[in-house]
Every structure is written in C-alpha cells, then in structure tokens.
Structure 1
C-alpha cells in the first residue's frame, strides 16, 4: 500500500488527527463486541466458504475445528471478520495481517541461522483498520489461556501484555525513522524465553526433513501421511501421475517468471522430484494446497515449496479494498510489506486447468526449520512472553505500512485502550465457546459432516 497525503503530512497534523479520532471513538468503545442480533450466523458463513473447496476435505476441516474452542477460533477467520466489521473504526488503515491470531506467528532461522520471530501466515492480508488485527490477536490469547486452564488473573495479564506491547512499540516507532522501523528487531531476552519452549534450530531442521520425506525405491520422496499428506500418484481421480506432474511443471514455469533474475538462478539449481496434496490448518482445510519436493542437482539436498490456493481475503467484503493482480499477488505483496524477514522463493502463479478450475496460487518455501510452537503447552509466563512478542511484531508491521504517529497519538499514554480490548477479548472468547458448541451440535444432528484426522 502507498502512503496517503494524510500519512505524509507534518507530524503535528498527524498527532492532531490521532487525538481527534480518540475523541470521536473513545478507547472504551473498543470493548464492544456485537450482540447476537447483529451477528451473522457463523455456520452459514463457514458453509459459504465451502462452495468451491475440495469436497472430500470438508469433513476434515470441520473435524479439526470441532476438536476444541481454540481449534474453532483458528478456523473461523471469516466469522471473526464479520464481527470486527461491526465494531468502531478509528480511520487509520494499515496492511493488516487479516488473521493475526497467535498461531500465525512463529520462530524460524533467517540468513546465517539467526533466530527471528515473525508472521508465518498471510492468506488474509489486506489494507484494513489496524485495530482489527489487535482485537483478533488479543482474543486469541484469551481463548488459548482458557484452553490451557490458566486462571482468570493470568489470562488478564497475558491479554494486557499483548496489547500494551503493541501500544508501547507503536510509541517507540512513532519516534523512529522509516529505516529504523524497517530494520527493527525484537527484544532478545523475550525471544530467549519463547525459544526455550521449543527445540533448537538444528534439531528442528533434521526433524523437519524426516517429517516431510521417506525413501522409496532408493529415492527421496514425500512421505504419505493421509489424509493430511497424499502423494500425487495416490490421489483418486487424477489419472496418470505423470500428467499431473506435467501440469504442475507448467504452474512452476509461471511461478518462476514472478521471481527476479537472482532468485530464478537459485531456483534453477533444483529439480522437481515429487509433489503431494496437503491439508493446511483449520482455516485453510479444504483449499487446494500442494507441497513440492525439489532436490539439488548432484547432491540431492531437499527444498520444500508450498503451493497454496489464494482466495479473496475474508476482510475484502467488509473493507471494500481492492488489490490489483489477483489473490496470489495480493498475498505475496502483503507478505513482503509486513514480514521483516523475506522469503527468497516467494511468488505466485495463475493455474489454468491444474487441480480444478482456473485458480491463483501463492508459492513460498515450506520451512523445515520453522516452529510455531505448541501454544497449548505454554505456561502462563511463556504465553505472556509470546504475547509481548506478537504485540511488538504486529506493531512493527503496522508502523511499516501505516501512520505510527497518528496511531500512537490515538493510543495515548495510559492503559485505557488495552483494558477495553481485554473486555472485547473476554466477550469474544465467550461467544467463541458458544459458536464451537453450535458446530458440535450441528455435527451431532447430521447437518455438518465431520471426521477426525491429523
């Protein structure tokens, strides 16, 4: 997204805008969560998403979402967007993540094996109000705290830690230059607390290769883990696997053209060895998603790329934002804007006649060294450190793409905004439990088909 005249105005004018917005939309207004009369039926919204998904994967989607209130929350990005659209807006757009819940952040190794913390998912990214991301993030910590059976007081501290971290970071970024914001790094001490909950980078990398692959007929191939991972040759109805591989090769050729010369040269050092259909997390289950195994010519070193179907963002109908170039390019552009550590293999492709009708895919490296961590095993202290990192990372993304000075002026110097968002998070978590119960009831009544699976 490009800077508007208001975002590039004199600092005093931007501060005045922020304070004026606080008068028009007081901090306390953000405690509001829409009541049942105003809300759209979440099950109908979810069913609407199913219309052009892979039919045989839909029962797996609902089986995953029914597993727990947290699993439901993660899969219900569209109902969340519908709820957020009914809440007050301050008028300061940013490149929003669109689904800024805690599981969409993670640790991974950057160049030189340096450990970084950043966004890990960008399917819903779109220009949107900054406060939507903050509220979705806060609610995810309240839902997770309940899942982990943390006491109410601990949950309160965790949610406030996420929002206050965002507020303090935004005030810091408001004083910095754009270059300072671009290269800002998270607090190392907090990173160590979160990293201590996970395996070391080298162990993660080895475990990742073993998780993705197996040796078949003396060759490295993608391991079959049905229903989540099914090699192309084992998919019913695809006919000759070689035909599917040829079609995938054509998609790769289109994807390759979206890379710069240096990245194309890097990609060309690998050859396509195997491909499998995969099922992503609760929100993406049912969409068309593939993992490609490429191996380095001469050595056999593996490279994993994910081809994931790109659809219109769940925020689009509620913001009216239009992004040129199609959904695949939207995801790639948004990722480049808000993720501090880039992916050299990031690109997109339009796929005509591959895996169904004409569709859009975004392509990225499927990192075998990435670890989002199991948030359901985090102690209150670790979850709170995770909350601070997420809040800071979200603020950096918003400061890079929005007006940090105006947002900081709106947030003010006290805890009023954080307290209001905490009330929103509690109300949202309460409603999430009722929505999860409604889904389970619909499954028991036979209105929704669900199967369990990994």
Structure 2
C-alpha cells in the first residue's frame, strides 16, 4: 500500500508530463472532426422524428449548443495531453448538470446530477467542461471577457481548494462528505439573491411524484392515465402485460432487497414516451405511472436509454457491458446519496436503459439570469461539488499535490475556458448556418 507522501509524489510527477499552465492551450487540430458530423453520427441510432427537436433546442443559443455537444468536446479534450490522474468522470459536467435533489433521508443536497456519459478518465476533463460552460454562459449573459475568465477561474479555484481540503481527510470522512441546501444558502450574499435562491429551493421541494401526478395525469371513465402533449409526451398504448412484467422483473433484480419489497407495493398504471433535455433528445425515454395504496399514492419513474459514453472512443471501455449499469454504478460511486429507485434493465431490441424517479425534489439554476457576481458564487459551488465527487473515486492526495497551493492551474483552466468558448461560438455558428442552408433539419421552439 502506498503512503500519502508517495501518492503526493505521484501527483507532483504528473506536472512534468502535463505542466499546470499547459491546460490553458487550445488550438484546434487540422484533423479536428467536423462538429456537425459528430452530431450526425450520434443521430443515427436515435428516434428519427425527434432528431430535429434536438437541433432546434441546440440552436437556441451558444450555451444550448454546448449542452448538446458533449461528444464534440470529448473529441477535443482527447486531442490534448492529460495527467493520467483518473477519477470517475461525470463526462458532461456543464453548469446545468449540477443541482439539488432529495436524499433518501429527504434532505435537500447539491451535487452533480447527470451521469449519462460517466466513465473513468482524467480528472481535468470534467474541470475543463465545467469551466468552459461557465465562460460560455457568462459571455451569453452579456458580461465582459475579463469577467467570464474570472468566473471560470473561480470554478477551478473552488475545485482545487476543496480537493486540497479533502486530501487531508480520512476515507470515511470523504465518503460522508455532502453539500446541503443550507451550505448553498450560506454562500449567497445579498438579500435579493438569497430570497431568489430560497424560492427556487422551495420550488424544488415541491417537485415530487405527487406534484407530477397533478400536472401530468387525468382520470376519465377508463381510469387514470397520462395526459399527452405530442410530440414531447405521447402515451405508450401497445405495451402488453407480458412485456411490462419482464421489464419490471429485469429492473427489480438490479435493486437491493429492501427496495424490491418497496417496489412490489406499487402496480403499473400507464406509460408514455417523453422528450427530455437537449443532448438526450432522440434517445428513447419513457415515464411510468405506478400506484401504491390507492389513487392518491403515485410514483413516477423515468426510464432512459443508455448508450456508450461519448468518452469511450478515447478512453478504456467501461468495465460494465450493460450501459445502464455503467450509468447507475457511476452515479452511485460519485454522488453523496442517490435515488432509491436507481436501477437498470434491458428493453426491447436489446437496448439498455436505466431507471430513476422522474421528480424527487430536483432543481437546477437559472444560469441565464445570473449576474456576474452570482455566477462566480455558483461557479465556486460547482467546483466544490465536482471535487467532492472526484475524491470518492480518484486519488485525491495525488490530484491535490498536482494542483498545488498556487493559482497556476486555476488560471490555465480559465484561459482554456475562454478560448474554448470561442471555439464553441464557431461551432454554434456552423450549426446555425447548416440549418439556414437546409443541410440540417431543425424544429425550433419544441
């Protein structure tokens, strides 16, 4: 077993391979893949009629484009030298993939909350995607390049200082580390900003299966069912009981024994296909309405298709052959606490899926309305949360030693973020031009 000092030396040795200041470089390679080509390859296995919705949502803004272009950025990150300091990556650590949700104990936590692309890889890839998203959001909000650079630097600083603190803690202390809603409130300065935050937290606490039940269902002479909103929400009416039984059996086997017992107290009522997110549009996603003791005891579960991570082309393939299991195990390893109904199964056509609750006090920030000062505070919080997530799976002592006590790494990441924001703007312009020329079919406003 290596000692803490040996682990720290491993981190410092990585500086020779990849100096901290070198993270600031971004010059696209002459062999850089065409970003629209990357997106088109992703679309091949998606629901064809939903793909234009994806492009329509990505075309809304540079930040929306970045959200949907995880595969584009994965190729760009892979073209750079990396530290070799491996963690369980989120794989898509942009600003809106952080947020609040309920722990099994019903505490409101702040954490990374999207793991579709999770895979072991170099820690700095997540840090760079987070910082780039901050720079893109800041510039889109009308701030100066200097302030956008500062916000991105603050996120890296938050990551570095949190990782250095975690490096000094014991294993159980790190595992039990979490960021509560109270911690989030404590970071906000100013009465108006605090009031706005408290309003959003209160709204998140109301986002439960019971709230979804009231908004998404109705009861008529045939019984309770999900209300359709085509093409975003369409009922699945051709699923027979045999198929439902097999799906539930496969999913049930991925849960722990006590959670199987809980699930068995609910029965199937209705299902619908649902369009979600930006980058995920076109993948197969469904919601299931289940009923417990009576009509007033609902449970909504979301079933989302899981394909290979966008990172897998450039890193060691996942240890899990089932992509749904890859997502679930990555989430359980990374989050401070995870949804009790998180599980996986294989569906029709041997497609892989993972399950979770549709709404469990989930909430995210309104990035587009943030002032530069609030964005910096939020950037620091996200950096802190990302370090906590990485510390559970990676060598936090080696990473902390690599980062060091100075701001060299922070400034390098901020330089990269601002430069990559420019690249993202060019890629966004290419999508907009493709749509205008009729090369790309987009459905705006859906």
TM-score by length of 2: 0.93
Distance 1:226 1:134 in 2: 37
Which residue, out of 317, 323, 328, partners 2:324? 328
Which deviates further from its counterpart, 150-159 or 135-144?
150-159
2:227 is the alignment partner of 1:223 = yes
Q: Is the 8 A contact 1:34 1:86 kept in 2?
A: no
Deviation at 1:297, TM superposition (A): 2.7
Deviation at 1:112, TM superposition (A): 4.2
Distance 1:322 1:109 in 2: 28
Aligned to 1:196: 198
Distance 1:373 1:209 in 2: 24
2:371 is the alignment partner of 1:379 = yes
2:66 is the alignment partner of 1:49 = no
Q: Is the 8 A contact 1:106 1:117 kept in 2?
A: yes
2:118 is the alignment partner of 1:130 = no
Q: Is the 8 A contact 1:34 1:87 kept in 2?
A: no
Distance 1:302 1:452 in 2: 33
SS at match of 2:319: coil
Q: Is the 8 A contact 1:227 1:453 kept in 2?
A: no
Q: Is the 8 A contact 1:291 1:307 kept in 2?
A: yes
Aligned to 2:191: none
Deviation at 1:384, TM superposition (A): 2.0
* Residues 380-430 of structure 1, C-alpha deviations (whole Å, 9 max, x = no match): 233222212211111011111010010000001111101011011011111
Which deviates further from its counterpart, 320-329 or 415-424?
320-329
Which residue, out of 21, 26, 30, partners 1:33? 26
Which deviates further from its counterpart, 270-279 or 102-111?
102-111
Which residue, out of 219, 232, 236, partners 2:236? 232
Which residue, out of 294, 299, 303, partners 2:299? 303
Deviation at 1:451, TM superposition (A): 0.6
Distance 2:420 2:10 in 1: 29
Deviation at 1:38, TM superposition (A): 3.6
Which deviates further from its counterpart, 192-201 or 293-302?
192-201
Deviation at 1:443, TM superposition (A): 1.1
2:427 is the alignment partner of 1:435 = yes
Q: Is the 8 A contact 1:29 1:88 kept in 2?
A: no
Deviation at 1:322, TM superposition (A): 3.0
Number of matched residues?
435
Q: Is the 8 A contact 1:269 1:296 kept in 2?
A: yes
Deviation at 1:299, TM superposition (A): 4.7
Which deviates further from its counterpart, 330-339 or 24-33?
24-33
Deviation at 1:223, TM superposition (A): 2.6
Q: Is the 8 A contact 2:135 2:148 kept in 1?
A: yes
Deviation at 1:189, TM superposition (A): 4.2
Aligned to 2:415: 423
Which deviates further from its counterpart, 24-33 or 206-215?
206-215
Distance 1:440 1:36 in 2: 22
Deviation at 1:453, TM superposition (A): 3.7
Aligned to 1:313: 309
Cα distance, 1:109–1:322 mapped onto 2, change above 3 Å? closer
SS at match of 1:52: coil
Cα distance, 1:217–1:165 mapped onto 2, change above 3 Å? farther
Q: Is the 8 A contact 1:308 1:361 kept in 2?
A: yes
2:270 is the alignment partner of 1:277 = no
Aligned to 1:395: 387
Q: Is the 8 A contact 1:33 1:83 kept in 2?
A: no
Distance 2:206 2:179 in 1: 23
Q: Is the 8 A contact 1:96 1:126 kept in 2?
A: yes
Which deviates further from its counterpart, 103-112 or 415-424?
103-112
Cα distance, 1:163–1:220 mapped onto 2, change above 3 Å? farther
Distance 1:97 1:303 in 2: 27
Distance 1:276 1:34 in 2: 45
Distance 1:49 1:382 in 2: 35
Question: 1:39-438 to 2 correspondence within 5 Å?
Answer: 39-186=32-179, 188-192=182-186, 193=188, 195-196=197-198, 198-200=200-202, 201-205=204-208, 208-217=212-221, 219-233=223-237, 241-243=238-240, 246-351=242-347, 354=348, 357-438=349-430
Cα distance, 1:272–1:382 mapped onto 2, change above 3 Å? farther
TM-score by length of 1: 0.91
Deviation at 1:265, TM superposition (A): 0.5
SS at match of 1:272: strand
The Cα RMSD (Å) is 1.9
Aligned to 2:439: 447
